[in-house]
Amino acid sequence: MANKSADSIDIQLASAKQQEYLAEAYRLLHYQRDGGYITTSALADRVGVSSPAVAAIVQRLKEAGYVEHEKYKGIKLTKLGEREALMNIRRHRLSEIFLVKVMGFGWDEVHDEADNIGAVISDRIAGRMEEMAGYPKRCPHGEPIPTADGVMPEVHDMPLSEVTPPKDLTVSRVTSHTPEVLRYLATLNLVPGTPIKLLSRAPFNGPLRLKIGTQEQVIGNELASNIRVSVE
């Protein structure tokens, strides 16, 4: 019995790891937006492991029918792989919003916790968390939550660092998961849903001058690249 239990744990861990890789591959492809392939090295950088380690996982994903892998081109999700990725992303983002709206955590505290929770909860529990959180459309960082049917809602926005001033904008989402960055942005009220105005920017990727409410703030271009905005 003890050996059987250990085998079951190994299978569950492998499944969770595969789902993580599929979700990260989907995110890379989503921001790429050209329907092409991503390299295994890009995926390795994304998940923070070596290229040989990624290659081993990718081979198992290919054998399971989750990805297509072509030499010199990289990998591309199959329909089955995309579905698995979206369900993983859904559970993660619902876990984040549940932790913030129901349990009272800060948006800077929930990313890693949601990784742990989302890897083990069932779709049924995720649905109950969604209900208790008030059927949110986005996570605390503004990322869209896939539906239970595996559909990713479309979001039309762009990095603040690429906007030409002057422009009236609304903060759409924040792509950084670094707690210190999120806490700093919260002090400036640069959070999803906040209307702002880009007043000016210095040349050569210099600082940006913003109006947030009645206050003016200056932020660096690197920080602005982590803030996605929609044009009003």
Q: Domain locations in the chain?
A: 2-77, 86-154, 158-231
Torsion sign over Cα 39, 172, 93, 222: positive
DSSP character at residue 109: S
- The sign one gets for the Cα dihedral 116, 74, 146, 163 is positive
pLDDT of res. 119: 86
Q: Which CATH architecture has domain 158-231?
A: Roll (2.30)
Question: What is the rounded distance in angstroms from the CA atom of residue 51 to the CA atom of residue 57?
Answer: 10
- The whole-number pLDDT of residue 126 equals 97
In Å, how far are 3, 149, 193 from 82, measured between CA atoms?
33, 12, 28
**Side-chain-facing half-sphere of 126: CA atoms under 13 Å:** 24
**pLDDT for residue 7:** 37
Q: Which two tokens stand for residue 143?
A: 């990322």
The pTM of this model reads 0.86
List the chain residues with pLDDT less than 50. Answer: 1-14
Domain 2-77, CATH number (from 1.10.10.10, 2.30.40.10, 1.20.140.10, 3.40.1280.10): 1.10.10.10
Say what angle helices 111-118 and 79-101 make with each other, to 10 degrees: 130
Give me the pLDDT at residue 178, please: 96
Q: What is the pLDDT of residue 35?
A: 59
**Within this chain, domains 2-77 and 86-154 share the same CATH topology:** yes
For residue 14, which of 96, 119, 85, 103 has the smallest C-alpha distance? 119
